[in-house]
Amino acid sequence: MKFKSGFVTIIGRPNVGKSTLMNEVIGEKIAIMSDKPQTTRNKIQSVYSEKDFQIIFIDTPGMHKPKHKLGEYMVRSARETLQEVDAILFVVDDSPSIGPGDEFIMEQLEHVNTPVILVINKIDKMNQESFNKLYELYKDKGLFADIVGISALEGANLQVLINKVLDHIPEGPQYFPSDMITDQPERMIVAEIIREKVLHYIHEEVPHGVAVEVSMMKSREKGDIVDIQATIYCEKKSHKGIIIGKQGRKLKGIGKSARLDIEKLLGSKVYLEMWVKIKEDWRNSQNILKTLGYE
């Protein structure tokens, strides 16, 4: 049997389960998950290897109408990817009808030659009748090479999805070592884990004005502890107070939760120091976006 390899991008409205799907397939936490929209900001490549194939998944930022320079970068990043891959997974959720966000994405897909597989996620929340109705609504659009129902959260039908993807993947070389699961530097994944915890702990309008920079990551001489220093940037003084919380409780909770996930990722003990700094309107600053790896 010949070896297959190719690139697949995952697109969809914010918060339909794209990152959950990718993490479930890879079996590791690579993309951050949150119930807040637009949590993925960079193109994250994850590598799924088996003995006879290798699929490189690209988790793009959610497609949406941008409101600032960061938003423009996110949408441009997602759009460019569509032309560069072997297949597109368009993920939708259990919404009973096709909303304007999904219509917006399908308009973009009309201009793309890449085969598109529609992935109806969250089937664990649907009965057969609801699923069939949604299936027919999308099938009538005539845009999709395949339609698959899955539950990313429960891991249901993922092998069916992988088999459908392989139908569109060409023969090719093994691009990455078989034990490699992402092309992202550890420092970036650590920053994303911290940002995920901020999103989890903060319920006000702060999240999208938050970025994380890991300024130092160093193993101690014995190699049993990794020292990490990170800065959480926010846009307003009031936001800084919300992130730190009363007597620093919120920041401590963020730090503890992040440390546990980072220790799992690195396989060693972690000493994490965090600061919160204000950078007003950073999402519209080209220089700051570059510093934080968004350009």
The string of pLDDT tens digits covering residues 69-124 is: 666 666 666 667 787 789 999 999 988 889 988 998 898 888 788 999 999 999 99
Coil, helix or strand at residue 174? coil
> How confident is the model at residue 13, as a pLDDT?
81
pTM for the model stands at 0.60
Q: Is 36 a residue whose pLDDT tops 80?
A: no
The whole-number average pLDDT for the span 182-189 is 69
Domains defined along the chain, listed by start: 4-166 (3.40.50.300), 186-291 (3.30.300.20)
Distances (CA, A) of 233 to 123, 183, 256, 259: 37, 25, 18, 18
Region 185-203 average pLDDT? 80
Residue 74 is which amino acid? M
3-state secondary structure of 248: helix
Query: Could you write out the three-class secondary structure of 211-243?
Result: EEEEEEEEECCCCCEEEEEEEEEECCHHHHHHH
Question: 267-292, pLDDT tens digit by residue?
Answer: 788 999 999 988 887 777 777 676 66
Mean pLDDT of the region 40-45:
49
Say how far apart CA 11 and CA 8 lie, in whole Å.
Answer: 10
